[in-house]
Amino acid sequence: ETGVTQTPRHLVMGMTNKKSLKCEQHLGHNAMYWYKQSAKKPLELMFVYNFKEQTENNSVPSRFSPECPNSSHLFLHLHTLQPEDSALYLCASSLGQGIRNEKLFFGSGTQLSVL
């Protein structure tokens, strides 16, 4: 148990569906992140939130829409996805203080399959 909880653990959706991924952290952290992990590729940082404000969007297609209502919760809204979007989506959090030995805590991920 890392203190970062993601739901659902598995999701199968069609290309016309709309779904949302949820992430909650109980660590008192100020920074939260969405990553995409595809087979045989490095972890890709998608979005960064610091104190509820989005500070980074790494050229992510608009069919992925993040939402951070408070420092403890992070959502990723999905719509009209493509089969190549199938991957493990990981949420993470950290203190957000920018010190070089800051620790990153990951959730267990949502395994997404787009049919």
Residues in touch with another protein (CB under 8 A): 2, 4, 6, 9, 31-33, 40-43, 45, 48, 50, 56, 90, 92-94, 96, 98-109, 111
* Shortest Cβ 40–another protein spacing (Å): 7
Cβ atoms of 89 and 21 closer than 8 Å: yes
Nearer of residues 51 and 61 to another protein, judged by Cβ: 51
Nearer of residues 17 and 75 to another protein, judged by Cβ: 75
Nearer of residues 18 and 103 to another protein, judged by Cβ: 103
Nearer of residues 17 and 111 to another protein, judged by Cβ: 111
Buried b / exposed e over 17-28, threshold 16 CB at 10 Å, is eebebbbbbeee
Query: What are the tokens at 74?
Result: 């992070």
Cβ atoms of 86 and 12 closer than 8 Å: no
The closest alpha carbon to 65, from 104, 20, 103, 35, belongs to: 20
* Shortest Cβ 5–another protein spacing (Å): 11
